[in-house]
Structure 1
Amino acid sequence: MAKKKKKSPRQGLPTEKEIVAAMKKAGRPVLLRELYHILNIPTSDRKAFRTLVKRLTKEGKLVHIKGKRYGLPEQMQLVPGKIKIHPDGYGLVEPEDPKKPMVYVPPSRLKGAINGDKVVVRVEVSQRKRPEGTVIRILERAKKYIVGFFYRGKRVSTVIPEDDRFPFEILIPPDATKGAEDGDMVVAEIIDFSPGRKIPEGRIIAVLGDPEDLSTQIKAVIYKYELPFRFSRAVKKELKEIPDEVREEDKAGRKDFRKLLFVTIDGETAKDFDDAVYVRKLPKGWRLYVAIADVAHYVRPNTALDKEAYERGTSVYFPGTVVPMFPEKLSNNLCSLNPEVDRLAMVAVIDFDKEGNRRQMKFYEAVIKSHQRFTYNIVRDIVEKKDPKVRRKYKRFLGMLENAAELCRLLRRKRLARGSIDFDLPEPEVILDAQGQPEDIVRRERHFAHFIIEEFMIAANEAVAEYLTEKGYPILYRVHEPPDLEKLKEFVDFAATLGLELKLPREPEPSWLQMVIEMAEGKPYAYLVSTLLLRSLKQAKYSPENIGHFGLASECYCHFTSPIRRYPDLVVHRALKAALKKKKPPYKLQKLEEMGKHLSDRERTAMEAEREALDRVKVMLMKHRIGEVFDGVISSVTAFGFFVDLFEIYVSGVVRLVDLADDYYVLDEKNHRLVGRRTGKVFQLGDLVRVKVKEVNVSRRHITFELVEKLKSPN
């Protein structure tokens, strides 16, 4: 009888597909040691293989069951996914496989799972539309900390989470209160929510303070979104080794642009100046100089500073404060292009002809000096309002600013002509009083001086992206995919209810969207059209694959102009430095793919945190304006009422159907309106209304309006 041939040990670890295939072939749950033999894992690789199996288990690709066996979830009626908890207490699990239906989990079968957790559920009642199941394992906790309100009791204290998707109280033992006072906003950590417990036990890890205080609300957002706000000891140690000012040896070998009249143009409250500009008129056009802080000179790859900045991904801006990507020594001093001091910069020098076509571009590691710190309003007074007093004060800069204005008009016309979309949506600005508390929230003014910087930054970003692409250096592009036609069709259907007759394009074109914006200009619903068009677009992101930027109608675009506050810009700076010195590219495609995903995620988190901080400010302000009357526009219609965006202040709230006592109203979803059964009265998207502030719930961030009257829309 022939001897059974012994398998030779495999080379390297098996892939996820190979492991799943082997387990399918086994047809039953298997022990880890069985997997060693099935997949022929040599002893030397078994430790690494165990780590791989643990990772796949954590991700929900495999399930660890009783008897130390591993199984495949789909063969055991198990579904891995993320759970969303409804305020009423039940859960819905969103499977990782988007083709599978959501699984309903009754409150009694959550087994300690909280909103956002990654879980495995066992399906027990199979229904085609909504199967029902029980949580059998929590793979990963979504929230380490929960923000809530502290209430002190005689024997035991509690924290009530402010987010109603956590429908439970947290018990706090007497020795775990951290000195919190009754009614304080706090951050709690759950330390025991085992399946047998109905109410979790926790401890206070931070006392935030009085909920009526803006700084408390900002701290709540920082903890809720788990934004890193403290710099590590390693970062602080590295900071000590960085000079306080630019040294002579740092200037060596750099292009000296200090005599050029570079200026910065920013908002009134700006403290970090990434960019400075200078424009010179040439016999056949213009020469634009864009100087960007050379952060890469001070922040080297793989240092503690670099790793911390990468984790943060971006600075996060809140009313009156910022969670910076870099410590203040860099962001507000050494890397900030402050006036009348030497600074290291990467400078793009771009020549344009009289039609605004780019003729040539060059890039330099340079030393510059900003000769003046301008605000947008001062530049507007000089170039648009032609204020004689202001022009006399800044006489030295008049020629340069007039050149800048002329070039800006040309570049802007050219960009809009190619189809670039200009939404021009109002942005909120929070006005703080002397104590740092919110006093008002207004629409931030956007005027021609803003356009100057916008156009010059777009020009620099495009020039750098094209240069590095031509040189074959992999970078992170700023990409924006075209919208789905289905989304645009929904918008066209909505526009018809406003009387805007639009023809759906065969292929999405930015010029079509710009045409729609221009059609709605001056109409009462213009803001609404821009907002809903924006919602129909996909989010821009970072990627090493250049698929163009739909919104800007740009074929090749990156972020280069804000390395103090955006990590992707630092990535581009490093690639540009390497290209100028003809060194090898600093990043490989695979690494950039991973970085692009992480940095896009960090950007989204920052945007959500900033939006929530703004919502908190809105309710703080409106709490003191109950009973006041405002005009606004209906921005959304639902089965329970309609939302109104106010004109005078940047706030929205809901008019509930229960407060419309004159009729029973039914939602006409197709036409985005509510219709009265008896009266036929209509409340539709885009309608103008006058409302009174009825109720403000600070903890839930809800603003309720009462209808005063429906207004006639101006023709």
Structure 2
Amino acid sequence: MTKPPSKRPPAGLPDRETLLAFLREAGAAEKTDIARHFGLKGGDRRALREMIRELEAEGALGKRGRKGFSEAGALPPVGVADVVERDIDGEMYVRLVEASADAPRALLVPDNSGKTGPAPGMGDRLLVKFVRGADGWEARLVKKLDGERNRVLGVIRKSNREVRVEPVDRRSKDVLLVPHAQAEGLKDGDLVLAAIEKGDQRYGPKRGKILETIGHEGDARAASLIAIHAHGVPTGFSEAVEQEAEHQELPSLKGREDLRDIPLITIDPQDARDHDDAVYAQRDEDPKNPGGWIVWVAIADVAAYVRPGTALDREARDKGNSTYFPDRVEPMLPERLSNGLCSLKEGENRATMAVRMVFDKDGRKTGHKFVRGLMRSHAKLSYEQAQAAIDGNPDDTTGPIMEAILYPLWNAYHCMLKGRLKRSPLQIESAERRIRMTPDGHIGSIEKRVSLEAHRLIEEMMIQANVCAAETLEQKKTPLLYRVHDAPSQEKLFNLGDFLQTIGKPWNKGEPATTKRFNKLLDETREGEHAEVVNEVILRTQMQAIYSAENVGHFGLNLDRYAHFTSPIRRYSDLIVHRGLIRALGLGKDGLTDREIAELPSIAEHVVLTERRSMAAERDAMDRYIAAFLEDRVGATFTGRITGVTRFGLFVRLDETGADGLVPVSSLGNEYFTHDDRSHALVGERSGLRWTLGRTVEVRLREATPVTGGLLFEMLSEPGPRDPNAPSARLGMRARGDKAGGYPKRGGPRPRDGGKPSGGLKGVRKGKRR
């Protein structure tokens, strides 16, 4: 309980008003604390207990914890609370644990330090500071306790005997039994958030209670809803944030340069709702730069609207970034900004932070300058539309701007490409898939994303703008958030060398990793049978890019300094960089504050966590949508490629949809399989037959479970031959009683080498894991 005030009144039994005043100041106290404070002994202590009973019966006092008391309707300065409610705006409310009914709920205020981990969710238990505000009680998060591991997101399964909550997480085994009374009004298949109840049961399902109903497993949007709740992605905006957004107005030209005559255009995906970058290029007329180009990149000036210390800023930092699903977006900023004032809409004035970059004829950047201005987009194009125009098929929009805008953009890009090729960034290919939704929210198709030159043009111009931001802030000695990507570890390089040895490719393990070295390996294998597996293994060798207040460079892009500047609508890191530029260049009073500079390490850590949270949620939703798409094709045959080899089975990626599923090791044959991590293979201990990473195989879909995103395959292809250089098997106890060749004595015919085993064999232990 809270330590009572140190100032001690005269000894003696207090009157009712004095006792209530003491509790009001202390927040909460136990009887022994009260007696000690007032110096009570013997009979006075008994009288105090009677007074407390009377005040509690009248409703003037309320219980706080097992032994504590507080003035009715008050909360202690610090306490343990459960998240008990979420309102329509997504705001969460907590209630003090072990408190009587008079204890008020408190609005949970998000922590902005980045030190408390992922955002809390329904059912979480938290340590909070309580503060009485003008609009009621607020709870400020100190840290999350053990609520996270006591929550289960699952599906209701009803029967006459019991109601179960089956988890949607494939890794979870926590099936919960809930009382029938709690499940009244719920239907079989409803998605719920439940808490594991503490109890003494050691066997069978655990007991649980339902906290919140989320939707139904048959809903078209169930996949994204499950992912949002499973990963704690913040949704919606508070009323304060919405009001702040609604009151924002377009800045005037005061303190800004007028860039509206520059014919900037946006090039985005066809279904893009917001447009945060625009580009323009022209030949450099400076005689000192023959063959050179000037490239403009204009970015939405989000910092003009989202200022430090505001509700908009607090919630944007809490979210960290937007999260994208096939059927919806959970934006970092309210629609009034993300799809309104901060979106560079065609023909409308917009505040911008722009950079003017100069390149010489060899694609080397020779200078740049940042400008805070007012712009007007002259055209809105999709990638496909711009590419079609350059390929000779302009339409009514692109036709009139070919000579003035599109041809110069492409010519400038081809010039910049010379510098990119000299830099030699990592050229790993990724086979991204795109889910197209029908108007009614169902999956229409799953398509491979086509990489166009238009994509690469915008990418290179954004990369150069990001480099300019990092260079300027370093030159001005202004701290910033870097986007860093460390070189692969020595251990990963050794593992890569071990694998390449198995396919006959030399790799000097002692030679330092460089992007040119990786690209040379990719080029040498690009047309061969091992192209995809080499691409996959090199990708897995790389470290993960993160945000950091300390610079270690960007290995993948082969850049010494790099920062994210070009997407402040959807990434908080970019907004921080914008504020840094405003401060460094004296472009306004809404720049980076001293407090933010001090907090940069914790901000970096926080936005890394939110980025990974979003990536995990997006990946989970994609898995569930693909499983739903394939549910009607159970029993169908597919071609694919082995993309993962583990002790418990093979992961296969289908060529048609890019879906990943598992072939369990138990279904591969009548023998034990060992995992050879050096060659990325499962090897039969008796036969030596091998399943190797990168092999093209044929599989049959056995199970598709949309609620978990799980796909289970049956292998139809034959394993590869034994490695002639591998040592002979040492079978030990498992060889006893077996005939030559390692197949069982009884129960059926011995299968041919490389074939699938016959079914119905008795006494055979198939594919046991080790």
* TM-score, scaled relative to structure 1: 0.75
Report the counterpart of residue 123 of structure 1 in structure 2.
none
Q: Is structure 2 residue 649 aligned with structure 1 residue 646?
A: no
Give the Cα separation in 2 of the matches to 1:664 and 1:147.
36
Contact 2:274-2:338 at 8 Å conserved across structures: yes
Deviations 1:221-277 (Å, cap 9, x if unpaired)? 11111111021122122123223xx3xx52323111111111111111111111000
Contact 1:432-1:439 at 8 Å conserved across structures: yes
Greater Cα offset, 346-355 or 157-166: 157-166
| Aligned-partner SS, 2:717 | strand
Give the direction of change, closer, same or farther, for the CA distance of 1:414–1:505 in structure 2 (3 Å limit).
farther
Report the counterpart of residue 382 of structure 1 in structure 2.
389
Give the Cα separation in 2 of the matches to 1:53 and 1:699.
37
Q: Mind listing any 5+ residue stretches in structure 1 that lack a counterpart?
A: 1-49, 55-115, 119-137
Q: CA deviation at 1:400?
A: 2.0
Identify the match of residue 517 of structure 2 among 477, 494, 512. Answer: 512
Give the Cα separation in 1 of the matches to 2:364 and 2:580.
26
| Aligned-partner SS, 1:674 | strand
Give matches, 1:464-613, under 5 Å. Answer: 464-581=469-586, 586-587=593-594, 589-613=597-621
Report the counterpart of residue 364 of structure 1 in structure 2.
371
Q: CA deviation at 1:605?
A: 0.9
Give the direction of change, closer, same or farther, for the CA distance of 1:381–1:165 in structure 2 (3 Å limit).
closer
| Aligned-partner SS, 1:463 | helix
Give the direction of change, closer, same or farther, for the CA distance of 1:274–1:613 in structure 2 (3 Å limit).
same
Greater Cα offset, 169-178 or 210-219: 169-178
Identify the match of residue 347 of structure 1 among 332, 344, 354. Answer: 354
Deviations 1:47-90 (Å, cap 9, x if unpaired)? xxx99999xxxxxxxxxxxxxxxxxxxxxxxxxxxxxxxxxxxx
Report the counterpart of residue 461 of structure 2 in structure 1.
456
Give matches, 1:83-102, under 5 Å. Answer: none
Report the counterpart of residue 305 of structure 2 in structure 1.
298
Deviations 1:377-396 (Å, cap 9, x if unpaired)? 1111122x222x53885232
Identify the match of residue 236 of structure 2 among 215, 230, 233. Answer: 230
Q: CA deviation at 1:194?
A: 4.9
Report the counterpart of residue 141 of structure 1 in structure 2.
147
Report the counterpart of residue 209 of structure 1 in structure 2.
215
| Aligned-partner SS, 1:251 | coil
Report the counterpart of residue 284 of structure 2 in structure 1.
282
Report the counterpart of residue 655 of structure 1 in structure 2.
663
Give the direction of change, closer, same or farther, for the CA distance of 1:303–1:200 in structure 2 (3 Å limit).
farther
Report the counterpart of residue 620 of structure 1 in structure 2.
628
Report the counterpart of residue 687 of structure 1 in structure 2.
695
Q: CA deviation at 1:407?
A: 2.1
Give the direction of change, closer, same or farther, for the CA distance of 1:325–1:197 in structure 2 (3 Å limit).
farther
Q: Is structure 2 residue 336 aligned with structure 1 residue 334?
A: no
Report the counterpart of residue 435 of structure 1 in structure 2.
440
Deviations 1:21-48 (Å, cap 9, x if unpaired)? xxxxxxxxxxxxxxxxxxxxxxxxxxxx
Give the direction of change, closer, same or farther, for the CA distance of 1:173–1:320 in structure 2 (3 Å limit).
same
Give the direction of change, closer, same or farther, for the CA distance of 1:53–1:435 in structure 2 (3 Å limit).
closer
Give matches, 1:58-457, under 5 Å. Answer: 140-143=146-149, 145-152=151-158, 157-163=163-169, 165-177=171-183, 179-190=185-196, 192-194=197-199, 201-243=207-249, 246=250, 250-283=252-285, 284=290, 285-383=292-390, 385-387=391-393, 389-390=394-395, 393-457=398-462
Q: CA deviation at 1:426?
A: 1.4
Q: CA deviation at 1:674?
A: 2.9
Give the Cα separation in 1 of the matches to 2:592 and 2:442.
48
Q: CA deviation at 1:527?
A: 2.8
Contact 1:348-1:364 at 8 Å conserved across structures: yes
| Aligned-partner SS, 1:360 | strand
Q: CA deviation at 1:169?
A: 3.3
Contact 1:145-1:223 at 8 Å conserved across structures: no
Contact 1:293-1:336 at 8 Å conserved across structures: yes
Greater Cα offset, 502-511 or 647-656: 502-511
Which structure is larger by alpha-carbon Rg, 1 or 2? 2
Question: Which amino acid is 2:452 matched to?
Answer: H
Q: CA RMSD in A?
A: 2.9
Greater Cα offset, 421-430 or 640-649: 640-649
Identify the match of residue 635 of structure 1 among 643, 649, 667. Answer: 643
Contact 1:177-1:203 at 8 Å conserved across structures: no
Give the direction of change, closer, same or farther, for the CA distance of 1:357–1:168 in structure 2 (3 Å limit).
closer
Q: CA deviation at 1:140?
A: 3.0
Give the direction of change, closer, same or farther, for the CA distance of 1:537–1:365 in structure 2 (3 Å limit).
same
Q: CA deviation at 1:372?
A: 0.9
Q: CA deviation at 1:184?
A: 1.4
Question: Which amino acid is 2:716 matched to?
Answer: V
Greater Cα offset, 277-286 or 445-454: 277-286
Deviations 1:568-591 (Å, cap 9, x if unpaired)? 000011111112217785245531
| Aligned-partner SS, 1:140 | coil
- Between the aligned residues of both structures, percent identity stands at 35
Report the counterpart of residue 765 of structure 2 in structure 1.
none
Give the direction of change, closer, same or farther, for the CA distance of 1:271–1:709 in structure 2 (3 Å limit).
same
Contact 1:256-1:366 at 8 Å conserved across structures: yes
Q: Is structure 2 residue 706 aligned with structure 1 residue 698?
A: yes
Deviations 1:340-396 (Å, cap 9, x if unpaired)? 11110000001111111112211111111111111111111122x222x53885232
Give the Cα separation in 2 of the matches to 1:398 and 1:569.
33
Question: Which amino acid is 2:426 matched to?
Answer: I
Q: CA deviation at 1:536?
A: 1.7
Greater Cα offset, 408-417 or 536-545: 408-417
Deviations 1:269-325 (Å, cap 9, x if unpaired)? 111111000001124211010000000001111111100000000000011211100
Give the Cα separation in 1 of the matches to 2:438 and 2:698.
28
Give the Cα separation in 1 of the matches to 2:228 and 2:568.
22
Contact 2:689-2:719 at 8 Å conserved across structures: no
Greater Cα offset, 605-614 or 403-412: 403-412
Give the Cα separation in 1 of the matches to 2:342 and 2:592.
24
Deviations 1:590-634 (Å, cap 9, x if unpaired)? 310111111111111111111111111121112122222222222
Greater Cα offset, 631-640 or 568-577: 631-640
Question: Which amino acid is 2:352 matched to?
Answer: A
Contact 1:690-1:710 at 8 Å conserved across structures: no
Give the Cα separation in 2 of the matches to 1:424 and 1:258.
38
Contact 1:212-1:620 at 8 Å conserved across structures: no
Question: Which amino acid is 1:650 matched to?
Answer: G
Give the direction of change, closer, same or farther, for the CA distance of 1:158–1:646 in structure 2 (3 Å limit).
closer
Give the direction of change, closer, same or farther, for the CA distance of 1:681–1:52 in structure 2 (3 Å limit).
same
Contact 2:189-2:218 at 8 Å conserved across structures: no
| Aligned-partner SS, 1:686 | coil
Give the direction of change, closer, same or farther, for the CA distance of 1:225–1:456 in structure 2 (3 Å limit).
same
Q: CA deviation at 1:213?
A: 2.9
Aligned length: 578
* TM-score, scaled relative to structure 2: 0.70
Greater Cα offset, 645-654 or 476-485: 645-654
| Aligned-partner SS, 1:390 | coil
Contact 2:582-2:592 at 8 Å conserved across structures: no
Contact 2:704-2:712 at 8 Å conserved across structures: yes
